[in-house]
């Protein structure tokens, strides 16, 4: 299994005190990796550093083995990395269609961009029915679909997802997780998934990384994390 | 009654200019949350350049075009070289920097061109047509209406129907999310400033022939009136800018006509205070929260 994304001794934060300390991480191509941990563990900061929104104080991020230092945030999507941020980032003043189109504007191949857009509408039927609705009229589940769909319009290789289950009903969460599994199986999509909903995340993940206070405290395959009671109690709270 | 009709048309004509100028202010406000207090000075600067070109070539229209293109360039340069580096933590920072720019621009203009009024010619006759004995609009007024309408329509089409417009709106509403989607947010900001400054320059060229002449401070009152128009309409609303412009134009016209021209600037300030007390968000404000 080749590593699509790697972090080496990543240290990053906002202001004086770093939030992430010496984080090492490997995401294998075609896998779903879950990043777990309590609030404040640094999971969102990790994703923001990986996608370039935050510049690390130390350490580096490698994509396909190449250092991402100096690569601007706007370039990441062109390298196949789609980051759906905390809160989903649906632009509420724009319509569903405008949000989705925004995800594909960077593509040079306009024909395939249109094809990808239609595929997303086929995938998310509620969005197709609400093309002209402004973002603020969508429910939480619909916004999650929109944020995901918008990321998929760019045909990414790596999807960074920050708490997709936040505020969603269990049934909707299960649908999202099922979709991620399907995308991995059918298209080889690699997913790095930050989640507080541990059970849902481990139900689809291949690997799990547990963070606490800005450090990685456990890195194992999902089955082990599900079964190891001590680890679960100590870091995952159940 | 005749007087009222005349004042109404005159007010709408001036109002169209304030509408265009207010639109320029709203464009920059929506994209950057900065009120461009230097907009008037920038417009005057490009009007001077247009004047020089007209004087050198004998062609008014060449000067006009150069003034508007100069606005594009000046807006882009101002954003890239000055405004980009303003710390956004306090809204006052942008205001202070812009006011500093005003001092610099007006000072430099005074040094190059002197402080006497230079003639600002109108490309069309300013004599009003009379219909049934009532003086209505002049050819120049029609030109002003036409020009502002074209600008408003072009901007509306740009923002709602083109992918550039979509990128610009997304960059204004959600800059980080837009970056993650591959949008060159910095470039969109520069483009927004360039367009707004070009609109401001156009408005300047339309209003200066009706003022005393070309002078470094010639757009100061126009700026205050247009700023009031933008606030009356709601700083976030383009339609509000147009409506506000027409309202301010009409108000100034009626007050000048019935109470005297010296009272007119006071009327604008009274309107500003009234709106801020009564409906500070402006007439067309929605209470929509900004997206997180």
- Residue B291 pLDDT more than 50? no
- Residue B91 tokens, joined: 């809204």
Q: What is the pLDDT of residue B284?
A: 84
Averaged over successive runs of 10 residues, the pLDDT of chain A (238 residues) comes to 88 89 94 91 93 93 93 95 93 95 95 95 94 94 94 96 92 92 94 91 93 90 84 70
Give the distance from residue B237's alpha carbon to the nearest chain A alpha carbon, in angstroms: 13
Q: What is the pLDDT of residue B290?
A: 45
Complex ipTM, two decimals?
0.92
Nearest to B173 among A82, A87, A91 (CB): A91
Q: What is the pLDDT of residues B55-103, one digit of tens each?
A: 999 888 999 999 999 999 999 999 999 988 988 778 788 889 999 999 9
Among residues B122, B103, B153, B100, the alpha carbon closest in space to that of B47 is found at: B122
Q: What is the pLDDT of residue A1?
A: 59
- Residue A145 tokens, joined: 């679909």
Mark yes or no for CB contact B292/A87 under 8 Å. yes
Place of tokens 């006011």: B99
Q: What is the pLDDT of residue A231?
A: 72
Mark yes or no for CB contact B185/A90 under 8 Å. no
Taking contacts as CB-CB distances below 8 angstroms, the residues of chain B near A75 are 182
Q: B281 near B287, Cβ under 8 Å?
A: yes
Q: Which residues does B147 contact at the CB level (< 8 Å), separation at least 6?
A: B20, B202, B206
H helix or E strand, kind and range, residue A160: strand A158-162
Q: Which residues does A134 contact at the CB level (< 8 Å), separation at least 6?
A: A92, A93, A94, A95
Q: A201 near A195, Cβ under 8 Å?
A: yes
What's the rounded mean pLDDT across residues B174-203?
A: 94
* Whole-number percent of chain B with pLDDT over 70: 96
Q: B57 near B67, Cβ under 8 Å?
A: no
Q: Exposed/middle/buried for A118, CB within 10 Å: 0-12, 13-18, 19+?
A: exposed
Give the distance from residue B132's alpha carbon to the nearest chain A alpha carbon, in angstroms: 49
Among residues A39, A182, A199, the alpha carbon closest in space to that of A191 is found at: A182
* Closest residue in chain A to residue B168, using alpha carbons only: A102
- Residue B135 pLDDT more than 60? yes
* Closest residue in chain B to residue A135, using alpha carbons only: B291
| Arithmetic mean of pLDDT over chain B | 89
Mark yes or no for CB contact A74/B179 under 8 Å. yes
How big is the A-B interface in CB pairs under 8 Å?
A: 74
Integer CA distances (angstroms), A89 to A84, A126, A129, A217, B251, in order: 7, 18, 21, 29, 43
Integer CA distances (angstroms), B172 to A144, B183, B206, in order: 22, 11, 29
């Amino acid at each position: 299994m080749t590593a699509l994304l790697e972090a080496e001794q990543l240290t990053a934060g906002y202001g004086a005190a770093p939030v992430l300390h010496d984080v090492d991480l490997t995401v294998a191509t075609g896998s779903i990796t879950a990043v777990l941990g309590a609030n404040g563990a640094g999971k969102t900061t990790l994703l923001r550093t990986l996608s370039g929104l935050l510049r690390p104080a130390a350490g580096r991020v490698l994509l396909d083995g190449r250092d991402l230092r100096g690569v601007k945030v706007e370039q990441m999507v062109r390298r196949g990395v789609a980051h759906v941020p905390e809160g989903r980032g649906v632009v509420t003043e724009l319509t569903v269609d405008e949000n989705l189109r925004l995800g594909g504007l960077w593509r040079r191949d306009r024909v395939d961009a249109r094809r990808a857009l239609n595929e997303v509408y086929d995938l998310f039927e509620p969005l197709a029915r609400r093309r002209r609705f402004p973002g603020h009229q969508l429910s939480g589940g619909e916004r999650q679909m929109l944020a995901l769909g918008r990321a998929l319009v760019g045909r990414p290789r790596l999807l960074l997802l920050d708490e997709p289950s936040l505020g969603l009903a269990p049934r909707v969460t299960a649908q999202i997780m099922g979709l991620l599994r399907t995308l991995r199986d059918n298209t080889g999509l690699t997913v790095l998934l930050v989640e507080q909903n541990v059970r849902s995340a481990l139900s689809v993940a291949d690997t799990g990384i547990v963070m606490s206070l800005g450090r990685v405290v456990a890195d194992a395959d999902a089955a082990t994390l599900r079964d190891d009671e001590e680890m679960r109690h100590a870091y995952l709270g159940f | 009654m005749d007087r009222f009709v005349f004042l109404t048309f005159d007010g709408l004509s001036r109002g169209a200019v304030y509408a265009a100028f207010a639109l320029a202010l709203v464009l920059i406000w929506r994209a950057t949350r900065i009120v461009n207090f230097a907009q008037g000075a920038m417009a005057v600067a490009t009007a001077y350049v247009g004047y020089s070109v007209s004087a050198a070539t004998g062609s008014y229209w060449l000067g006009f075009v150069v003034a508007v293109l100069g606005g594009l360039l000046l807006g882009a340069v101002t954003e890239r070289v000055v405004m980009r580096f303003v710390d956004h933590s306090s809204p006052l920072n942008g205001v202070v920097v812009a006011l500093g720019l005003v001092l610099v621009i007006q000072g430099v203009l005074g040094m190059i061109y002197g402080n006497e009024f230079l003639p600002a010619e109108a490309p069309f006759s300013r004599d009003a047509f009379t219909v049934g004995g009532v003086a209505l609009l002049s050819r120049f007024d029609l030109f002003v209406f036409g020009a502002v309408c074209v600008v408003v329509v072009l901007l509306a089409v740009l923002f709602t129907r083109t992918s550039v417009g979509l990128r610009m709106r997304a960059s204004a509403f959600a800059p980080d999310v837009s970056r993650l989607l591959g949008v060159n947010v910095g470039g969109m900001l520069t483009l927004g400033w360039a367009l707004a400054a070009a609109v401001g320059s156009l408005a300047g060229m339309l209003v200066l022939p009706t003022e005393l002449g070309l002078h470094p401070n010639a757009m100061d009152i126009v700026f205050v009136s247009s700023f009031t128009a933008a606030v009356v309409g709601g700083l976030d609303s383009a339609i509000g800018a147009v409506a506000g412009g027409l309202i301010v134009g009409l108000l100034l016209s009626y007050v000048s006509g019935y109470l005297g021209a010296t009272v007119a600037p006071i009327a604008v300030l009274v309107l500003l205070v009234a709106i801020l007390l009564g409906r500070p968000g402006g007439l067309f404000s929605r209470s929509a929260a900004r997206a997180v």
